[in-house]
Amino acid sequence: MTTKTRSSDLFIDAEKILVGGVNSPVRAFKSVDSTPIFMKSGSGSKLMSEDGLEYIDYVLSYGPLILGHNDPDITKAIKEAAEKGTSFGAPTVKETELAKLIQDVYPSIEKLRFVNSGTEATMSAIRLARGVTDKKKLLKFDGCYHGHSDSLLVATGSGALTHANPDSLGVLEDTAKHTTVLPYNDSSGVTAYFKKHGHDIAAIIVEPVAGNMGVILPEPGFLETLRECCTKYESILIFDEVMCGFRLPEGGAQQYFKVTPDLTILGKVIGGGLPCGAYGGKAEIMNHLSPLGAVYQAGTLSGNPLVMAAGVTMLNKLKKEEILKKVCQNTQDLVSHLKESTPLQIQSCGTMFSLFFTSQKVRNLDEVKTCDLRKFKKFHSHLLNQGIYTPPSQFEANFTSVAHTKEDIIKTKEAINAFF
């Protein structure tokens, strides 16, 4: 039974007007059989709840807050931009400045287009891929989440190499039939699918480091197989780096694993935590977008001046202070300890990590589903009671920030060890 708190009262009130009491499903805490904690403020590595409780935060808005909450430089940049106007619907210098900063880290992005979310970026990139190749089929992987557009809200079909089925009411079968879902890390399945359908495959979309079923790394040869198949059959390889972008030691997965996609998708990390997304890649592909080409995509708030100002500040700080290296070291310190002190499968890459309630290596969604979800629920509740805020799902990644201190890491280690 849930203890009565201010958060529980606020949730009851929210349920009267907001669908499910939340504006994104995972926030409802249903997968951990609880009710959400309402947050009041954030500073550095900490969140303060409406109940007056402080938490060390490993959610970090699901990834983008590499500098922690309420970074003073980003806050200052947003305030200064807001004083000049919140939206123009016209070009600004900051758009070009941010694009160049992104290109410094992602040289494969010769041209890009800013949008307002990762979902919008993936939806647009898929339309672009279909427009450029004049092909219909899309290949994705079970457990990789790429937003909630119709082409991507699909589930695995009844057998290998079959079309996917709608995974949500409102998604038409005629839409879902053009998407095929294979297990993550299934190189042989990809090769077989291309042999059968390569003539009509517009694109592969993949999280090069999966984060939406927990942190799962690509097996050796997996990303290389995707690249080889796309090159051979003239399909477009799309890396969705919304989650892992700027979270790996080299900045992104394509540098880290030395596999270059045709298009890259980035998310709110490039907006300093504000609503933002982008997709970009080879100029010969991107030039098919309107106003240069016949693939249409537009957005009034794309390149919003507040977002651009926050993003420029964020990426400049990452560049100058070598923050990624510092955060990676903090993460490795915590991960190494957990591997030695717990019976769990700990998987990590860069500044992302997951604690899987199994003793076996996890390589795909089916293997994640074998985890002890009941024990995870108890673990999540235990951590909250110890002042540690982690994602309310076994199927989400944890993140660290430069704001996490040695004291934070020590407290986290002690809290986790106390559970076992």
DSSP letters, 82-108, are HHH-S--SS--HHHHHHHHHHHHH-TT
DSSP letters, 288-327, are TBTTTSSB----TTTT-HHHHHHHHHHHHHHHHHTHHHHH
- Residue 411 bears catalytic tag: no
DSSP classification of residue 109? -
Of 135, 140, 268, 377, the catalytic one is 268
Dihedral of alpha carbons 357, 360, 362, 366, sign: negative
DSSP letters, 46-68, are EEEETTS-EEEES-GGGTT-TT-
The per-type count for the chain, helices as H runs and strands as E runs, is: 14, 16
Rounded Cα distance between 20 and 11, Å, is 9
What Å distances lie between residue 85 and 299, 305, 306, 374, CA to CA?
18, 8, 8, 49
Of 55, 145, 193, 279, the catalytic one is 145
Of 240, 279, 377, 408, the catalytic one is 240
Which residues make Cβ contacts (< 8 Å) with residue 281, sequence separation at least 6? 108, 109, 110, 111, 112, 261, 262, 263, 264
CA atoms within 13 A on the CB side of 127: 18
- Residue 145 bears catalytic tag: yes
- Residue 268 bears catalytic tag: yes
Rounded Cα distance between 236 and 398, Å, is 30
> Which positions are annotated as active-site residues?
145, 240, 268
